[in-house]
Structure 1
C-alpha cells in the first residue's frame, strides 16, 4: 500500500490554518502524515502551531525552521 503525506509550509498563520488541518483530518482519508513547517513565523503566531501540536493526532508533525 502506498503512503502519502501532506506538507504545508506556513509563515505567520492564523485560525484558517487550524480550520484547514481539521478539514484535512476529517475529509482526507488516505494520508499517513501531515507536516506543518513553521517557516520563521513571528512569536505572536506561535500559538497557532502550539494548538496544532496539541490536537493529539499522531499524523501531525510540526517543524520549526
Structure 2
C-alpha cells in the first residue's frame, strides 16, 4: 500500500491562495481569508481532486439584494 500526501490549492476569483495550515478544514480556511476578502463570508465551496492535488474553489453568489 502506498500513502500519498494530497496537496491543497485554494482558488478565489483569479487568485491562488496559500494553504495557511494543513490541519484547518476548508471552512476554517474560508473563515481565515474572509478577514482579507469579506465577500468570502457567504461564498460556496467546491472541491475537485486531480491526481495528488485537491483544488478548493471559493465562489461568491451572484445576484441582487432585495
TM-score (normalizing by structure 2): 0.26
Flag the structure with higher strand content. Answer: 2
Flag the structure with higher helix content. Answer: 1
Give 1 or 2 for the bigger CA radius of gyration. Answer: 2
TM-score (normalizing by structure 1): 0.26
